[in-house]
Structure 1
Amino acid sequence: MRAVVQHGTGGPEVLELEDRPEPTRNSGDVLIRTEAIAVPFYETQMRSGQIPAGPAPAVFGHEAAGIVLDADDPALLGKRVVTMSFTGGAYAEVVAASQYSLVPDGITAEQAVAAAVPASVALGLMDAANVKAGETVLVEAVSGAIGGYLARLAERNGARVVATAGQGKADIDHDDPDWRQQVPEGIDVVFEAIGGPRAAELTAKLAFFGRILAFGMLSGELPVFSVADLIPRGLTLIGFGGPDAYGKRVAAVRAEALGLVADGTLTPVLDRAYPLADVAAAHARVESREGTGKVVLVP
C-alpha cells in the first residue's frame, strides 16, 4: 500500500510517500480502506517538533474515514467508519483501528473526517463549560474546525458569540498581538485555543464566576494562568486535553456529533482536498491558515 512516512521533524519535506506493508488487524480491530484523511493543525505541530510525536520513521496521521475491509463482526464489512488514533498510521491506503464510529447514511467520508474529531471536541467542551442561554462566550480561532463548531453549538444553546480569527476572518483579529484588549467585558466563557504567556490577560474581561476552557495551543505554547489571575473574579479554569479527555469524553459524544451532521444541525466545512502524494502541499496549506475549514487527503 501507499503511505506517508515521517522522517524526523521539520518542514513538510520530512513527510514522504512510500510503499509499506498493509497493517495487520488484531482481534477487536477493524481494517479500513481509507477514503479521506484529516490534516488537523496539531499534526503540523507534531511534524515540526513543536509538540511531541512518536518515533520516526513511521506512518504519520491520526484521523481517517473509510470502508471496513475486515472485522471480527461480519456485519461491519462494507460499512463506512471514522477513526482517531493516538499512535499514528492514518496517512495510508489501509488503516487498522481499535476505536471507530459508524458513519450515518448520507455523510461522505470527507464530511465524516472533517466533523468526527473537531465536532466531538466542541460538544465535549460545551458540556464541560455548561453554556447557558443568554451567556456570552469567546471562541478563539473560529475559522478553524473546532472553533467553527463551537460557535454554532453556542448559538444553538442561545449564547452570544464573540469570535477571533487570523487574517481578518472575524471581528477580532488574533494576529494582532494586543487583540485581547479588543475583547468586550462581561465574557462568561472563554474557549482558549491559542495559548501563550498572555492568555491571562483575558481574565480581566470575564464576568464574575466565569469559566475558561483551555484546550489548544495554536501559538505553540500552553496558556499561562496563575491562581492570582483567577481568585479576584471567582473564575474556574478547566483543562481539556490529553488521552483521557480526547479518548474518553470526546469519544463518548462522537456518535452524537455525527448525528448532528446527519440531521443538518452541523455542516462540515471543507477547505481543500489533496491527493496523498501532495501531502506536503496539504501541510503547507494548513500552516498558512489561509483557508477556512478542514483540509483532507484523498488516497
Structure 2
Amino acid sequence: MATMKAVVIHTAGGPEVLKLEERPIPTPITGWVLIRVKAFGLNRSELFTRQGHSPNVRFPRILGIEAAGIVESCPGNEFQKGEVVATAMGGLGRDFDGGYAEYTCAPVKNVQAVKAGMELGWEVFGAIPEMLQTAWGSLFTALRLKREERLLVRGGTTSVGLAAAAIARNHGAYVASTTRREDRESMLKEGGAHEVILDHGAIAGKINEKFDKVLELIGTTTLEDSMLCVKPGGSVCMTGMVGNKWSLDNFSPMESIPTAVNLTSYSGGSEDFTATPLNELARQIKDGTIQIQIGKVFHLDNIVEAHRTMEENKAGGKIVVLT
C-alpha cells in the first residue's frame, strides 16, 4: 500500500502534539478528488482545534482546512489529472482528514481549478485559498462593500486583514487598518491601507469620521467598540477571533448595538469557497494589483515550529507550509 507523510493529532495540547506519521494515501470515491498537496496555509481555527476548543472534531485527525496542489485522480472526471486546484472548508480537516499531508481527498463541490495558481508559485498560491475566501466573502457577501465606502479593518495585520485591505482598496474603497504596533504602519500602507490606526482596545473616541463598514477580525474583545465606529445604516461583520475570546460577557443588544447599526458575521462554507473568484484574484496578485503578505514558510517536517510561530504571532503575515 502506498503511503504518505501526514501530520496527525491524537490529543489536544501544545504544538508538540502534532506528530509526523506515515499514513496510507487515501482513495477517492465518486464525487471526491485526490489532490497531491504542494502547499497549505496555517489558520487560527486549526490552532483552536489543536488546543481542544473544537469539540466536534474527533481525534485522531489530520488537520488543515485548506490545501493547494495538483489533481492525482478524480473518479467522476470532474477534474483531470494534473490540474492545478485549491480546496478549503466544507469539513476539510474537521469532519474528515485535511491538508496537513502530502495527499488529501476533498469533495469535488469544494474544489476549484485555479490556472493562474502556478504563475504565483506554491508559496504564494498555498497562502491564498482560505485567506482570500474569508476576505472576499466578508467584504462582499456579508458587508456588501461598495466603491468609495469607508472601511475599517479591525485587526489589520492578520493575514485576512491584509488581504481584505488589498482587495477593498482595489475595489475603490477607502481603507483604514488597525494595529497595536507602530512599526507595522508601513507594512499596512504598502498592503493597501490608506490610514493606520493604533489600537489598544478602544478607538471609537479617537476616529475623526465614522465608517460605512467594519471588518472585525479581533473578535469579541473589540466588537462593542467597533460598533461605535460605524455610521447609522452601516454594518459590522464579525469574522475573526484572534483575541482568543469566544463570547461577550453580559451582552445587552439594546445597549451594545447603536441605533441603525447592523451586526452580521461570516464563517464561510462550501458554497462560499466556490463562489470566491480565486483565479481572477490570483491573476491580480500576479499583476501586482493585489499584494499578499507572506509571513514565514516552513516544510511539513517543521509543522511544530510553524504552529508555535502562529501561536506566538511572530509570522508578520500568512504562514505557508510546503510539502
Normalised to the residue count of structure 2, the TM-score between the two structures is 0.83
**Pairing of 1:1-299 with structure 2 (within 5 A):** 1-52=4-55, 54-72=57-75, 73=77, 76-85=80-89, 86-88=91-93, 89-98=98-107, 99-105=110-116, 106-127=119-140, 128-168=142-182, 169-170=184-185, 171-174=196-199, 176-179=200-203, 181-222=205-246, 224=248, 226-229=252-255, 232-241=258-267, 245-255=268-278, 256-299=280-323
Task: Name structure 2 gaps, 5 residues minimum.
Answer: 186-195
- Judge conservation of contact 2:38–2:122 (CA < 8 Å) in 1: yes
For 1:275 and 1:197, how far apart are their aligned partners in 2? 34
- Judge conservation of contact 1:120–1:257 (CA < 8 Å) in 2: no
Q: Report the CA distance between 1:198 and its aligned residue.
A: 4.5
29-38 vs 81-90, which deviates more? Answer: 81-90
Task: Tell me the amino acid that sits aligned with residue 62 of structure 1.
Answer: I
- Judge conservation of contact 1:37–1:113 (CA < 8 Å) in 2: yes
- Judge conservation of contact 1:215–1:240 (CA < 8 Å) in 2: yes
The corresponding residue for 2:193 is: none
- Judge conservation of contact 1:217–1:223 (CA < 8 Å) in 2: no
SS of the residue aligned with 1:114?
Answer: coil
For 1:288 and 1:164, how far apart are their aligned partners in 2? 19
Task: Tell me the amino acid that sits aligned with residue 274 of structure 2.
Answer: A
- Judge conservation of contact 2:153–2:175 (CA < 8 Å) in 1: yes
Deviations 1:248-279 (A, max 9, x none): 23431143433433554323322121111110
63-72 vs 251-260, which deviates more? Answer: 251-260
Q: Report the CA distance between 1:4 and its aligned residue.
A: 0.4
53-62 vs 1-10, which deviates more? Answer: 53-62
Mark the CA change 1:202 to 1:229 in structure 2 (over 3 Å): closer, same or farther. Answer: farther
- Judge conservation of contact 1:38–1:64 (CA < 8 Å) in 2: yes
For 2:78 and 2:265, how far apart are their aligned partners in 1? 40
For 2:139 and 2:180, how far apart are their aligned partners in 1? 23
275-284 vs 145-154, which deviates more? Answer: 145-154
For 1:222 and 1:159, how far apart are their aligned partners in 2? 30
Task: Tell me the amino acid that sits aligned with residue 314 of structure 2.
Answer: E
Mark the CA change 1:166 to 1:52 in structure 2 (over 3 Å): closer, same or farther. Answer: farther
Task: Tell me the amino acid that sits aligned with residue 100 of structure 1.
Answer: V
For 1:250 and 1:84, how far apart are their aligned partners in 2? 7
For 1:231 and 1:126, how far apart are their aligned partners in 2? 20
- Judge conservation of contact 2:9–2:19 (CA < 8 Å) in 1: yes
For 1:74 and 1:188, how far apart are their aligned partners in 2? 41
Task: Tell me the amino acid that sits aligned with residue 321 of structure 2.
Answer: L
For 1:4 and 1:27, how far apart are their aligned partners in 2? 26
Q: Report the CA distance between 1:108 and its aligned residue.
A: 2.2
- Judge conservation of contact 1:4–1:92 (CA < 8 Å) in 2: yes
Mark the CA change 1:184 to 1:220 in structure 2 (over 3 Å): closer, same or farther. Answer: farther
Mark the CA change 1:286 to 1:259 in structure 2 (over 3 Å): closer, same or farther. Answer: same
140-149 vs 160-169, which deviates more? Answer: 160-169
Deviations 1:42-76 (A, max 9, x none): 21122112444611122121211111111132861
Task: Tell me the amino acid that sits aligned with residue 227 of structure 2.
Answer: T
Task: Tell me the amino acid that sits aligned with residue 15 of structure 2.
Answer: P
Q: CA RMSD in A?
A: 2.3
Task: Tell me the amino acid that sits aligned with residue 139 of structure 1.
Answer: V
SS of the residue aligned with 1:35?
Answer: strand
Give the % identical residues. 30
Q: Report the CA distance between 1:13 and its aligned residue.
A: 0.7
